[in-house]
Structure 1
């Protein structure tokens, strides 16, 4: 499988000159399988340039993708209104994430575009849209096998283990270490992975000031990987 990072920032976009090396968009990862199937992880502002690239690549041909959201905090969904392939009727997108409290995946995504927060609502998106609930489980999608587990983050977050084309990718954003059961679940998720994408929002020194904010540091990522 091929990976491309379209956004790696957290909380807010950071479009400054000092951030050009890694980019300033919030999380979005494109995954392509050998057979050409398209999967998208998170819909931060990075999904906007991804949308432009897909339209240039596909032209008038339909675009189909499965989208896996880790959670519903703004930095992981705020690019959806600006993902232009969603506005074309020939395209199809299948959204997957957990249900929050008494709300569905569809409700969570539609509400950020309701009056007075956005000029148009999600009904203006003419692409075929489908919404699916997933929890801590193992599911097969096409040639990809996905396993999800809960991470330690306010309002919830899912970490994903993706097995495809003989490789293993683990995508575990927004996770605070310190809970024994949660830490063990993350280690199991990452066991034997070829690529681990992990939360390193803070330095180890900063972590002391931001307890219970739901984030981690690079040292914890190294500990999980080794």
Structure 2
């Protein structure tokens, strides 16, 4: 199982608000943080260094070689991610589909699958785990807390490989949130936009309760019908 000492480098693809917030948390956790974007490194260097002192602006290829790589770009741009560079990488899907930003995308609004499963199909040689996308930007910027703090927020994690989920749990804990395993990657649908947990910034126990209630929610019933029956 991955330990804190095994995790030394964090790649972040995406230099917007979420990517920068994750870079700040990674530096606070003592990690070597590499931030990449669609723009060349020299064009984002100043904003990366200002937001997260000590983080480095790098190429996507260099960010992809980190121990864990967080994807923090709009979900609608997932096909632009470099399949070859991310081959074999442990990838954290922190992306969300917003029709207002991404446009109407029936392929991303399919209730028979989750957006993380769509990403996994695109990055077939990568190991995708969903996390870091359901809390608010404010929570990432202001609400990280050490282990044992009663105000610590829960962070749901969904993935198909137990070791990968454990490794991402180590990262989540180091960043200041309580890991809340939610099952296989398909269960990421329970904390996508439109669900109770999304944006709730809840503690770990409340997050578990929200996840458990998903199948009784309107969105949960839609997903269950699309998937052919009771998903509880």
TM category, shorter:
0.3 to 0.5
Q: Greater relative contact order (Cα 8 A, min sep 6): structure 1 or 2? A: 2
The structure with the greater share of residues assigned to strand is: 1
Q: TM-score, normalised by structure 2?
A: 0.34
The structure with the greater share of residues assigned to helix is: 2
Q: TM-score, normalised by structure 1?
A: 0.34
